[in-house]
Structure 1
Amino acid sequence: MKKILCSMIMAVLIISAGEAHAITVYKKDGVTYDIKADLQIQLRKDVGKDQDLDVEYDDLEIKNSIKYDIGNGFSAFGQLDFGFKNAADKPDSDADPHLEEAYLGFGYKGGKIFMGKTDSAADYFGIEGAYEEPLSCHAFDRIGHTDGDDIIGAAFKFSLDDFQFNIIATHEIEAESEKSDGNGTFSDIYAEMKFAGFTVGTAYQTYEASGSDQSEDIYGISLSYDAKFVKVGADYSVAEDELDFWNLFAKIPVKSINTTFGVGYQMIEPDKSSDEDISAWYANITYKFPAHKNVSIFAEVADTDENNVDMGYLFGVRVKF
């Protein structure tokens, strides 16, 4: 079975080598099957003490999407994504491709409901500037939860001219049974507005560990502006009684050389007076090949002001469709 799966994946990769977008493998009688891939390999030395240079498999994903038109504007859809990082990191083992996402749902116009293993609403929060964030992405990533195995959720999208509104809400079921140890429960929501080059986002999550009656609350707000010649963004997130998390980022695309330069700053302010603030910075450069924008090479350096921490750096290649 493993050989059959690998053969199918390799065939799709060979067929798609010249494509710039997702491939529609099948489309007939109201049924659409698409496949995507995100392949990224880095030569990386992490920020930290006594870190060695290593080949890192940051993304090795195959994404499968199927959608059925079931009439009267309704659709049914499914997603099945596999990651190959574990197998790549342990070539001498029998590590199988691991399951990234597996969910099913129904949609109607701009809305949808779904359930299964997938990202939480909080995962959509924040600005994206670094290839490898020195201090995590934000408070939701550092303290909270950005995915789940037992999620039910709903999403809605509305567009009018240059205004767009998106909202997504998810709930992770406790799921403590003979088949599951229970990983706690959380509920979260993310809302986003886009208009005139601005993107404003806000998120909230409340989490309760398995067997606990105490909840942890995390919330955040983000703002970015795309002026075409430069894009700037910032986000601020708070994990109550834990920490405040700041992100600042700016990038400048230089279209004449198909290159984008980026720089960012992060800071964590712990709530405990005995803990010191931690700050970090990073800078990166990305080149996209003119013939195919989904093929890129990139480099990044990063460092923090923590004691006994050395600067990190990476060089990587990314191919996706």
Structure 2
Amino acid sequence: MKKTILATMLTSLFAATAAHSATVYEADGVTLDLFGDVEIQANKGTEDDAPKMIHLDDADFGVQAGYVLSDSLSAIAKISVTGEDETGSTNNIDLDEAFVGLSFTQFGTVTIGQQYTIADDIGIANDYAFGINSGYSGVATDGKQVVKYVVDNGNYYFGVSYLLNENAASDDVESIDARLGVRIDALDLTAYLGKADDADASATSVLLEARYSMDNLDLAASVSSLDGYTSAEDSTAFGLAAAYTVDKVTYSGGYSLLDVDGDDDKLNTYFVNAAYAFNSNVTVYAELGGDDADDSELGYGAGMAVTF
């Protein structure tokens, strides 16, 4: 009974890593999982005369653990490290997540520590190198001092996170963001609301996302509004994305339009890609992406991702 309860809790909490984690110990109400991934990418960015480069796009390794405390309560913990090399400089390995929490079978999960915020889940596009613009800005996507609560009962889901300070003990940066979603058959609707404060200025973002799945086709759309730190940052954005899978190949594309108040030029951003999945852990891909900003060029990239 307790193992079943614990497995359900961990699957919900660690949804982002459950697909490629391995349970290395499970006994007496204790579960210990290992997970990781490595992604190497060759690309050329969209900036004018951007250099061609082969770089470490992502490298993660971590451990997550769960301890049954009662029939309805478990203690959880997660720690992971990450390495990226976006600019071609010397690789750095940094602490990515380190948090503890309590997970209740009926009431959801509370975690505290260094972790990703609710805003990190934003995005409708199945992209690898370029992506599109969601328009949701200002709110931190991770931090060292984060308290987060999430609950998901299948039909609806809710989450809220609060970042006390971004890094230092008191750096005048704090944010709060929330998500509310509902699933109706093949339709998934999500609303995000975020507010960030930086010294004496604040920014508020609202984002609506819709996803619809049918057979091998996934469709998505988004619309957002940003009340920025200054009036020059106020904007609205619209996005569309699609992904179609044939056997082991997935073809994806996305487009967004960003309209900044007072700016006569609207920014159009787009990408297309194709990815081949050898299995659930090994994928190779190629992608093209670009925008119509000044001095912008068509970018391209190709890579391989291996998870374990």
Contact 1:87 1:96 in 2 (8 A): no
Could you tell me which residue of structure 2 aligns to residue 66 of structure 1? Answer: 65
Aligned counterparts of 1:87 and 1:233: Cα–Cα separation in 2:
28
The answer to whether the 8 Å contact 1:35/1:64 transfers is: yes
Distance 1:66 1:311, change over 3 A: same
CA distance in 1, matches of 2:73, 2:283: 37
Give 1:6's aligned residue. Answer: none
Equivalent in the alignment of 2:224: 237
For the 8 Å contact 2:53–2:88, the answer to whether it is kept is no
Q: In the alignment, is residue 126 of structure 1 matched against residue 135 of structure 2?
A: no
Paired with 2:255 and 2:213, the residues of 1 have a C-alpha distance of 18
1:141-172 deviation digits (Å, cap 9, x = unpaired): x433211221112111113xxxx211110111
Q: Describe the shift of the 1:88–1:204 C-alpha distance in structure 2 as closer, same or farther (beyond 3 A).
A: closer
In the other structure, the counterpart of 2:162 is: 171
Alignment partner, residue 228 of structure 1:
215
CA RMSD, 1 decimal: 2.1
239-248 or 199-208, which deviates more: 239-248
Amino acid in the other structure paired with 2:242:
A
| 2:153 aligned counterpart, secondary structure | strand
Aligned residue number for residue 284 of structure 1? 273
Shift of 1:133: 3.1
1:109 maps to 105
For the 8 Å contact 2:32–2:66, the answer to whether it is kept is yes
Q: 1:313 to 1:86 in 2, by over 3 A?
A: closer
Are the counterparts in 1 of residues 132 and 255 from structure 2 also a CA contact under 8 Å?
no
2:287 corresponds to which of 300, 309, 318: 300
Q: Distance in 1 between matches of 2:130 and 2:222?
A: 14
Whose strand proportion is higher, 1 or 2? 2
Q: Partners in 2 of 1:96 and 1:309 — Cα distance?
A: 29
Residues 1:186 and 2:171 aligned together: no
SS of equivalent residue, structure 2 residue 119: helix
Structure 1 residue 70: deviation in Å?
1.0
Residue segments in structure 1 that go unaligned for 5+ positions in a row: 1-19
Match of 2:75 in 1: 76
Where 1:51 maps in the other structure, the secondary structure is: coil
Distance 1:174 1:87, change over 3 A: closer
The answer for the alignment partner of 1:56 in structure 2 is 55
Instruction: Kindly provide the CA deviation profile for residues 246-267 of structure 1, in whole angstroms up to 9, marking residues without a partner as x.
Output: 2111111112xx1011111111
Please give the alpha-carbon distance, in whole angstroms, between the structure 1 residues aligned to 2:250 and 2:47.
26
Alignment check: 8 A CA contact 2:48 2:296 kept: yes
> Paired residue for 1:252?
244
Distance 1:128 1:120 in 2: 19
In the TM superposition, 1:12-23 aligns within 5 A as 21-23=20-22
Distance (whole Å) between structure 2 residues aligned to residue 320 and residue 183 of structure 1:
37
Deviation at 1:132, TM superposition (A): 2.5
State the TM-score, normalized to the length of structure 2. Answer: 0.86
C-alpha distance 135-76 of structure 1, shift in aligned 2 (>3 A):
same
Q: Residue 202 in 1 paired to residue 191 in 2?
A: yes
Q: Give 2:99's aligned amino acid.
A: Y
What is the TM-score normalised by the length of structure 1? 0.83
Structure 2 CA distance, aligned partners of 1:21 and 1:135? 26
**CA 1:295–1:52 in structure 2 vs 1: closer, same or farther (change >3 Å)?**
same
What is residue 34 of structure 2 aligned with on the other side? 35
